[in-house]
Structure 1
Amino acid sequence: MADFHPVPEPRSTLTHANCVVSTPLGYRPLHLDLHVPPGDGPFPVLLWVHGGGWMTGSRVWTVDQRFHERMVARGYAVADVDYRLALEATYPAQQADVDAAVRWLRHHAEALRIDPGRFAVLGESAGGQIAAVAALTGTGDTAIQAVVLWYGPADLSTLENQDDPFMFPAILLGGPLAERTAFARLASPMHNIHPDAPPFLLVHGTEDETVPFAEAVAFAEALRAQGVRCDVLPVEGAGHVFTGASVEVGTLTEASADFLDDVLK
């Protein structure tokens, strides 16, 4: 029997749907959906970068079903960003797709009622890797001013099964990690840290077996060693995607907004 996804709930906050932000030659057009609070603005904007192991997922997938409602109520525009999955294109296509979304939003900032000087990204799981590297390498029209990572991997160069060509990170990078150590480091947030990086918040389950909590701790320590602010919010008892968490996921959305208030507003 087919495994059907449920009918999506209406998104009352949606302002601009299916905005084409780039048309990479030979690939499908890439879109974003934008949710903007009522009022004149300009509002800070948060780019949502979905997870899925670089192999699945969509910009409309969220962990908190009231994510947009909560963020818009806090005064943030939210841009749900699409990127090419690993079987469509290998890295760095995904980073280029997020960069393209940032450029498009900044170019149209006045018309969209968003503030070009207050851009943040929130990436979850594989989307966290993409969001973090985009933020760490962005400059000028691709610059990011704040980063929130929900259980995102920080270092692809130290993963297990380095010789396996079929593990998802290997597919992302085009082959076994053992043959692509330098490339894996290039794609890893851990190896792109610099003193001018934007502030980070890491929200991570203490029982995560997919991306261990220790990886978030090590990443935070490396950021702080370069003088970069990095707050860590441990989610006690939670696994990957906050499964088994003792708190409701909405409280983690609110905590992320609190951090953004502090560093952007």
Structure 2
Amino acid sequence: MRKIVFILVLVSCALRAQQFRVDTSYTVKSTYTKLIKKYPFITIPVLDKNKNVTAVQDVPYFSEKERTLHLDAFVNNKQKKNPAVVMIHGGGWRSGNKNQMNAMAEAIVASGYSCFTIEYRLSLEAKYPYGVIDVKNAIKYIKDNAGKFKVDPDKIAVLGCSSGGQMAALIGTTNENPAFEDPSYKSKSSSKVHAIINVDGVLAFRHPESSEGEMASFWLGGSYEEKTENWKNASALHNTGKNTPPILFINSSIDRFHAGRDDMIKILNQYNIYNEVHTLENSPHSFWFFEPWFGQTVAFTTHFLDKTFK
């Protein structure tokens, strides 16, 4: 009997380990190794510590059963209340981690913002829309703790890179849409955001300019033919309308990562919603990790945020 119980415990542990396994293929280091031959001038940015910034690592914002999700907070202490930037890493909805956004957070926070890099459930653990819902829960948590983080809850931007950019645009275009909210998450705040920064994230999964395939299918729970509604509803372009907040697009020179952008801009212009586009010539995807594009990305972002919030 004891032997059977012991075996069941081992099986249970193995299943939990499998459930939460992590794809570590997408990192700054692996991307640098991939790009350095074609772009021998790139460097990984090194930032000086800012005495006005307090960084708090691995703050738990959500717990369910045996799973806890965390965020890293970077708070500018010069003001009592700052606009906030919620930051979502890329990695094809499958890989990457919040630490990849910390350098950009440290650079942006120096300009008078509170920045938050978010852990969310990836596709090996949970399919669409759970990662999106996780980030929306993080936004509620940040607003609930606005005093602690020196945040103005009425000035929240969401920024994402690559698949994180797709998620950021979707989060901003589905403000207070119950289909993307977690009714079990107890909060006095909404997940509404007031600005979007999309860094090389697609706006439409099914589009003449789009070439999304296996990675998107895995996250969305099946191919376009199998999960047509998911492919449509997960596209920010499908959700864009008169209530979409101002948006900044920062893009590489690779066309597939612009999918749906121009059509989205037509809708934004129809409703006189402010938008900016910056396309970095001769730049690869994941350009934001490296100089000379890291500094440009931060400059475009802070200029847009200053215009929108200050």
Question: Which TM-score applies when normalising by structure 1?
Answer: 0.86
In the alignment, structure 2 segments of 5+ residues that lack a partner are 1-24, 30-45, 177-188
CA 1:121–1:22 in structure 2 vs 1: closer, same or farther (change >3 Å)? same
AA in 2 matched with 1:189: A
1:59-95 superposed Cα distances (whole Å, 9 cap, x missing partner)? 0013xx7423321210011100111101110101011
Secondary structure of 2:225 counterpart: helix
Shift in Å at residue 129 of structure 1? 1.3
Aligned to 1:219: 264
Which one of 14, 22, 38 corresponds to residue 62 of structure 2?
Answer: 22
The total of aligned residue pairs comes to 253
AA in 2 matched with 1:60: N
Contact 2:28 2:100 in 1 (8 A): no
Contact 1:50 1:126 in 2 (8 A): yes
Shift in Å at residue 192 of structure 1? 0.6
Secondary structure of 1:45 counterpart: strand
The CA distance in 1 between the partners of 2:55 and 2:78, in whole Å, is 12
Question: Once the two structures are aligned, what percentage of the paired residues are identical?
Answer: 27
AA in 2 matched with 1:141: S
CA 1:200–1:5 in structure 2 vs 1: closer, same or farther (change >3 Å)? closer
Residue pairs, 1:97-112, within 5 angstroms: 97-112=134-149
Residue pairs, 1:39-78, within 5 angstroms: 39-62=78-101, 66-78=103-115
Aligned to 1:229: 274
Contact 1:154 1:189 in 2 (8 A): yes
Answering whether residue 133 of structure 2 is matched by residue 96 of structure 1, we say yes
Contact 1:102 1:142 in 2 (8 A): yes
1:229-255 superposed Cα distances (whole Å, 9 cap, x missing partner)? 221111112221228x99432122111
Shift in Å at residue 19 of structure 1? 1.0
Q: Which structure has the bigger radius of gyration?
A: 2
AA in 2 matched with 1:233: H
Secondary structure of 2:272 counterpart: coil
Shift in Å at residue 202 of structure 1? 0.2
Shift in Å at residue 210 of structure 1? 4.7
Answering whether residue 227 of structure 2 is matched by residue 187 of structure 1, we say no
Question: Which TM-score applies when normalising by structure 2?
Answer: 0.74
CA RMSD of aligned residues (A): 2.7
Aligned to 2:244: 197
Aligned to 1:173: 220
The CA distance in 1 between the partners of 2:78 and 2:48, in whole Å, is 18
The CA distance in 2 between the partners of 1:22 and 1:61, in whole Å, is 20
Secondary structure of 2:98 counterpart: coil
| Moved >6 Å (runs of 4+) | 3-6
Secondary structure of 1:172 counterpart: helix
Contact 1:209 1:240 in 2 (8 A): no
The CA distance in 2 between the partners of 1:50 and 1:78, in whole Å, is 13
The CA distance in 1 between the partners of 2:70 and 2:48, in whole Å, is 17
Secondary structure of 1:29 counterpart: strand
Aligned to 2:41: none
Secondary structure of 1:157 counterpart: coil
CA 1:220–1:111 in structure 2 vs 1: closer, same or farther (change >3 Å)? same
Contact 1:220 1:231 in 2 (8 A): no
Shift in Å at residue 23 of structure 1? 1.5
CA 1:264–1:161 in structure 2 vs 1: closer, same or farther (change >3 Å)? closer
The CA distance in 2 between the partners of 1:182 and 1:194, in whole Å, is 19
Aligned to 1:35: 74
The CA distance in 2 between the partners of 1:44 and 1:161, in whole Å, is 34
The CA distance in 2 between the partners of 1:90 and 1:21, in whole Å, is 20
Shift in Å at residue 15 of structure 1? 2.4
